[in-house]
Chains A and B, each alone.
Chain A
């Protein structure tokens, strides 16, 4: 492909760089699951199995073949979109993931949006008014956010809002049993319910989502707010802000068009990292709120050495990270004109 502009070429190059990463991810997810302790054949053959039936299970699972051959079978299956059968749930892994991944993503994304909506304005306010109560509030929230573990804040929120005040619904999954699941379109209940025009279900889904999303948001908010504050302080003390002030630009223009857009660059980088933290923290939050997400699925699969399920989980998570980093990099390049020239 002959890219005409350097920007376009840099973009294409960046997308192409994701390919070897994906290949590496496939190899590592395969090797990693094989390196796990425990013998799945023993587990799935059952408690009463003798050596012979274990061996039969092993052959049935294809685990007797050499590692390289197993890998090629795995890659062949992958190329057809077949992630294998989950031995614990009995369904195909692809099906399980398709059902559970949107649940996790819905939780993580709404938590992240909530965190951004609070943290970015808070950071900007703290930076423009250093030493005032806003700044101190920002510091308190940031400290609390990083020092309280998610399982603790989750339980605390349940205790206050469900048990003591009774304003929140019972923390049991994505939707109370009185509602029907919306038709599966995207798997995001909020979107699917809105598409159906079923606002009652939509409200029900929001009510379920608020507590776990807040728990996760509280955790992700801290680094975003801290980074926004620091980036804004750096931007505001730059020489070009002085030029803008000397040219008589209004404080609004200076704050948003000059300082904030420049501060956005480090904030964006932080956002990518925070998203990955959030996916990790998800596992605990899902457990506390009985959220039928991918995190709890993976933990269960791991306990029983369910190769295909663990492999599928690792692979989908890794692909998610690759995609996310790609998006962040491309966004960064869209904001910062220097990208694509800097390595000259």
Chain B
């Protein structure tokens, strides 16, 4: 086995205003030729910093403090900047998350590929264009000739990631580092991009490091997995072994928290926290009924039909999952239901009355405003940065509930206890709270006025898996305790399977399939649902 990369006791520190932060604390690993190594960890584990350190592209203030990194006999820590410039892109390349931001927004993608080819003397002025188009074809872009002249904003996220791959692979590097390459992409796009990357790596006999927070994804595509926590490697081994018999408590926690088939929401938690699940009372009576709902926007090139006449019902106490990829109309639907947007036509029967009749603009004054609330996708952006957690939770109580004084304080503290937010944190601003704590504040705000119906718009999409596990369990408990009904909007089929009784699958503004969650997940009828299920990463089942 020939080693391509060898890392010994690598330590990286960042100089910040609050002093030195140890991002990576002495990690050692090897990478064999042709091997795909997965580095898995949650935010702050140092997994991305490790890769930036290997490329020597650390952000300002970051420095390799100790250790060695050797790539094919080159000392990456001590090589001159000029040598590093030659190594980057030609020997070691990287692809990044958020592909659209990773491309220069005002330069044609073809020219961006040419820049790299010419930097590494792989092309001259005369053949750069042809070689750039060849690089585009190598990442299986249709009509590469036309795409050469496109700007990043004209391309889809998946297409942009292919361009980033084309830039990274243009000069035939021997090692590819992929840093969360599919975060933010749709599930079928994720599969297409990951399959492409894996095929290219195998074809060209490259080595690769895949950095991801998704243990399931890493298990599917990697030969070996390394689990990182707080800048240290806590465990490494082959994926099956890590999944079936994790040695370190932290990797056990991560494996537990990764949603997959045949689990319950409680089994996401560490064994000690698995209290008995409360059984919610589901009635046969519909709380909310959507009939022939449509939404048409006026687009520049004609009308855009975002929602094309969908009908479904949410029963009292039920949790309905709404699944689909970006652009399928699920966000439009949830915005209409929460009455922030008006429908073009159709009825939304809530508690026997058509609330679509009340314009979204005046719904804030409607007495039913308190009954329908929402938990937003981005816990950070949906909180006012100038408000403390207490002020955030007080807002709906004061404005809609008219609660003041000692009663207000008592209610806020009751809500904090309900969502598991320690009381001292109530006086903190959102930037002083962790992701999970912010999610709790968002949930407390939504349930403050005892709503009947909650719309959960991907409430855990931005959270680490272990925190996602806790928040999902909180949502399950609240539903049973408070008798809530949920519409759970998500792209993660595993999560939907865990949480929902009923599933609706949307595509292009239409419902392609709906039914009991267990049925849809195990025996999907439509081809689209089948392709969604096939695209979801399949972590090995626990033995």
Contacts and interface: CB of A to CB of B under 8 A. Distances in A.
A247 B106 contact: no
A335 interface: yes
B10 interface: no
Interface string B77-113: 0000000111111100110101001111111000000
A63 B433 CA distance: 70
Contact of A262 (B84, B98, B105, B120): B105
A129 B98 CA distance: 28
Contact of A246 (B94, B103, B154): B94
A276 B60 CA distance: 37
Contacts of B59: 237
Query: Which one of A238, A246, A343 has the greatest number of beta carbons of chain B within 10 Å?
Result: A246
A242 B102 contact: yes
B29 interface: no
A262 B112 CA distance: 14
Contacts of A249: 85, 89, 115-116, 119
Contacts of A242: 57, 96, 102
A337 B106 contact: yes
Contact of B89 (A248, A337, A341): A248
A238 B89 contact: no
B185 interface: no
B96 A253 contact: no
Contact of A240 (B105, B153, B300): B105
Interface in B98-156: 98, 101-107, 115-116, 119-120, 151, 153-154
A340 to B, nearest CB: 11
Contacts of B94: 243, 246
Contacts of B105: 240, 262, 338
B164 interface: yes
A240 B119 contact: no
Nearest to A247: B89
A253 B119 contact: yes
A258 interface: yes
A237 B59 CA distance: 8
A261 interface: yes
Q: How large is the interface on A (under 10, 10 to 19, 20 to 34, 35 or more residues)?
A: 20 to 34
A336 interface: yes
Interface in A89-124: none
A242 B164 CA distance: 12
Given A262-B104, A338-B106, A245 B88 contact: yes
A250 interface: yes
A295 B41 CA distance: 66
A80 interface: no
B167 interface: yes
Interface in B144-188: 151, 153-154, 164, 167-168
B424 interface: no
B85 A250 contact: yes
B55 interface: yes
Contact of B101 (A240, A245, A246, A335): A240
A247 B94 CA distance: 7
A148 B89 CA distance: 49
Interface string B40-65: 00000000000000010101100000
20 contacts: A130-B60, A239-B96, A245-B55, A248-B84, A248-B86, A248-B88, A248-B89, A248-B90, A248-B116, A248-B120, A249-B85, A249-B119, A253-B119, A257-B107, A257-B115, A258-B107, A337-B106, A338-B151, A343-B300, A344-B300
- Which 9 A-B pairs rank lowest in CB-CB distance, beginning with the nearest? A248-B89, A248-B88, A246-B94, A247-B89, A239-B101, A243-B102, A247-B116, A337-B151, A240-B104
Given A239-B102, A246-B57, A248-B85, 8 more contacts: A238-B101, A239-B98, A246-B55, A246-B96, A251-B85, A258-B107, A261-B106, A337-B151
